[in-house]
Structure 1
Amino acid sequence: MAALVYFRKITEDPNAIVYSFGEDPSAMTRHLTMDKNARKSQPDDGNIDYLFLKASRKINSMYEQASEWPERGMSVS
């Protein structure tokens, strides 16, 4: 089974970034908040599912590669 997640940065402050994410780039209805210092995220709806984990891991992976938080992206597996 293939898994696909899109994400886009919504807001950022010195400590955290909020991303929207979802399976369709035109309907990213969920949000996650990334703690920039700890590099840990939490889903705003409290639902720690595969889609949330996939988005969070890809965001962290892109940060490791570029040393900056991504504006948007996607992950497919």
Structure 2
Amino acid sequence: MAAIVYFRKISETGQRAEYEFGDDPDNFERRLTMDKASCTSTVQDEQVDHTFLKASRKLNALYAERGEWPERGMSAS
């Protein structure tokens, strides 16, 4: 079974980066917040599911690779 998640940064402060995410890049339905100090994430709707975990892990991987929080991206498996 294939899985895909898209994400786009909607705001960033010194402490946090907030993203909207979902399986449709034209209609994001959910939001997550990355804590920049700990690189941990929380999801606004409190649904810790595969889509949220996939987006969070990809964001952390891109940050580790680039040294900055990405503006947008996607993850597919």
- TM-score normalised per structure 1: 0.99
Instruction: Find the counterpart in structure 2 of residue 48 from structure 1.
Output: 48
Structure 2: segments with no counterpart, 5+ residues:
none
Considering only aligned residues, what root-mean-square deviation do their CA atoms show, in Å? 0.4
Please report how far the alpha carbon of residue 44 of structure 1 lies from its aligned counterpart in structure 2 after TM superposition.
Answer: 0.5
- TM-score normalised per structure 2: 0.99
Aligned length: 77
Identity %: 55
Structure 1: segments with no counterpart, 5+ residues:
none
Structure 1 segment 21-32 matched on structure 2, within 5 A:
21-32=21-32
**Partner deviation per Cα, 1:31-75 (whole Å, 9 max, x = no partner):** 000000000000011000000000000000000100010000000
Distance between the aligned counterparts of 1:3 and 1:59, measured in 2? Answer: 16
Instruction: Find the counterpart in structure 1 of residue 39 from structure 2.
Output: 39
One-letter code aligned to 1:66: R
Please report how far the alpha carbon of residue 29 of structure 1 lies from its aligned counterpart in structure 2 after TM superposition.
Answer: 1.1
Consecutive aligned runs of 4 or more in structure 1 exceeding 2 Å deviation: none
